[in-house]
Structure 1
């Protein structure tokens, strides 16, 4: 499987493409306004040393004045390219289209409000993947930019593993703020699921990779510094809660869970949504997830049923750390809580599919 032949985006500034026919890594940064932070992320990526790389910035609809600032930041650069996509494809679709532009062996996705912790972080990530041929992806340790403390809103793993934040362990997902994927695996599973738009796209990708016998690993020694504070990580306005609930239920259906088996999780989400004034979003998410799953089945000719080996991997590396089903559901329901309410509560996009 390979990525679809996406229509070429509009070239805005920087190099027309990578200078080398073969190189180690592509750094992918999605842009949508927030020009100052995005420019700092670009500078961090271009400052990476000890590894051949190309930086791709994919704009998804910034205002003209902000797009002009981004263009100025890479004007004349031989190692960076700014393109403008035809519309906002979200995190999943945007990363797919930006990744398809490159040919590096590794794809490192960096949030536009994040920076590499050191000038050798990218090289460390590339070496980590190349040293373990069965790894599809690695998740970096995400630190609060201002303090260097762990960004608890970006801890996408079982809460009992938080004391091991500086260590390494096999995992069932990774955090989008900073992660590296082997391109061969990215293409083998077809990239991210565009239908997700945003929320849970990394978890879904990880499940497909694990289902092919690949591993995901958290690397606490490879770090990214993140500028979004925990208390602002989750916004209850807009449609974020809708996507959070819809996508998690859709993923469960997509991998063969029965709708009735997902009902307790769905009801727990409704309680959480009602407490935060977004009950309507959560209720709409259920039928939307069913529609997505039906569409996926029709388009793919079936569902992505997890193999026994994949389920065993998930049990060992996720469920074993989470405790009872009730405890896991509580962690799921609290996954979107702002850090200010409870530092110990589970982060976004975490949870077991079993």
Structure 2
């Protein structure tokens, strides 16, 4: 795993880069969904009270959709559309998009999301500036159409959901809308390209926490996400495969013995069987082990993969304390997979 340097992507439209220094880079990954992506770009460009540049990184949109994005960004002095050589996934795409800019804060906005207010970006940057030990700021994710809580994007212990409007330290963040201090992103090695998508935020957060930084959830800084307000998981394609593979791989990366991950892996298999994707889950285990054996930390980040006592205490206080022990969590996974339980 390494954080660049990456080949210069093809410039498609917009400015070649910012005219001068900026406080924040807004990165938006594009892969079709042109209408939503154009709205996300407009939302980012409309942010006020902060100097920023918007980087739209296309990973393989169809020609007609790329043409629409090109038209939306043409002649924009504060936005740049580039095209990568292939689809690098969420993790790899964000790495490459982040490397394009130089702002001290990087705000990642999903291409089906928009900033809630015109000063959302400015408030996120101020929040990071005010507390230098925060590596990443997790935004509140709301359903675009209603403003209700997007429970499908709640990435924290369920016990904290009633506090969604509050602020508290967490152990991960949700990709739909978040801000990362560039210094921490670079010093911890960025995202792991091998993950492709799923769990990449958790993986980064573990390294930041082990480096002595915090991840802060801010319920007063929000983005609106264009999804159903109902909990959803697409039991199709390879989504479950990536979910299981990446979570086991991350556990191995941070020093957990394969045997200690077996209860979690078995619980995933029961849940996968219940939802008709058992083959995906079974295939994920051996692949996770192969990924772990190939893994090499970025130079200078080796120590970040050995969680020290302070990091373990942080994880216990801000996550495990709200979830209960492993036995309780495995039991919850199993119960959720039984016939008659709500599908998730």
Q: TM-score scaled to structure 2, two decimals? A: 0.94
Q: 1:26-105 to 2 correspondence within 5 Å? A: 26-105=25-104
Tell me how many residue pairs correspond in the alignment: 339
Please report how far the alpha carbon of residue 53 of structure 1 lies from its aligned counterpart in structure 2 after TM superposition: 0.2
Please report how far the alpha carbon of residue 190 of structure 1 lies from its aligned counterpart in structure 2 after TM superposition: 1.1
Please report how far the alpha carbon of residue 208 of structure 1 lies from its aligned counterpart in structure 2 after TM superposition: 0.5
Please report how far the alpha carbon of residue 335 of structure 1 lies from its aligned counterpart in structure 2 after TM superposition: 9.3
Partner of 1:350: none
**Structure-2 change in CA distance of 1:333 and 1:16 (3 Å):** farther
User: Does the CA contact (< 8 Å) of 2:148 and 2:229 recur in 1?
Assistant: no
- Structure 2: state its 5+ residue gaps: none
**Structure-2 change in CA distance of 1:332 and 1:207 (3 Å):** farther
Distance 2:324 2:275 in 1: 26
Partner of 1:18: 18
Partner of 1:163: 162
SS in structure 2 at match of 1:209 = helix
SS in structure 1 at match of 2:152 = helix
Q: 1:81-230 to 2 correspondence within 5 Å? A: 81-230=80-229
- Is 1:285 the equivalent of 2:268? no
Please report how far the alpha carbon of residue 333 of structure 1 lies from its aligned counterpart in structure 2 after TM superposition: 6.7
Partner of 2:307: 306
Please report how far the alpha carbon of residue 23 of structure 1 lies from its aligned counterpart in structure 2 after TM superposition: 1.3
Please report how far the alpha carbon of residue 332 of structure 1 lies from its aligned counterpart in structure 2 after TM superposition: 5.7
Q: 1:238-257 to 2 correspondence within 5 Å? A: 238-257=237-256
Distance 1:330 1:68 in 2: 50
User: Does the CA contact (< 8 Å) of 1:297 and 1:303 recur in 2?
Assistant: no
Distance 1:61 1:29 in 2: 14
1:129-151: CA deviation from partner (whole Å, max 9, x where unpaired): 00001000010000000111100
**Structure-2 change in CA distance of 1:2 and 1:278 (3 Å):** closer
Please report how far the alpha carbon of residue 330 of structure 1 lies from its aligned counterpart in structure 2 after TM superposition: 4.7
Please report how far the alpha carbon of residue 341 of structure 1 lies from its aligned counterpart in structure 2 after TM superposition: 3.9
SS in structure 2 at match of 1:100 = helix
- How large is the Cα RMSD of the aligned pairs? 2.1
Please report how far the alpha carbon of residue 232 of structure 1 lies from its aligned counterpart in structure 2 after TM superposition: 7.6
- Is 1:320 the equivalent of 2:304? no
Please report how far the alpha carbon of residue 230 of structure 1 lies from its aligned counterpart in structure 2 after TM superposition: 4.7
Q: TM-score scaled to structure 1, two decimals? A: 0.92
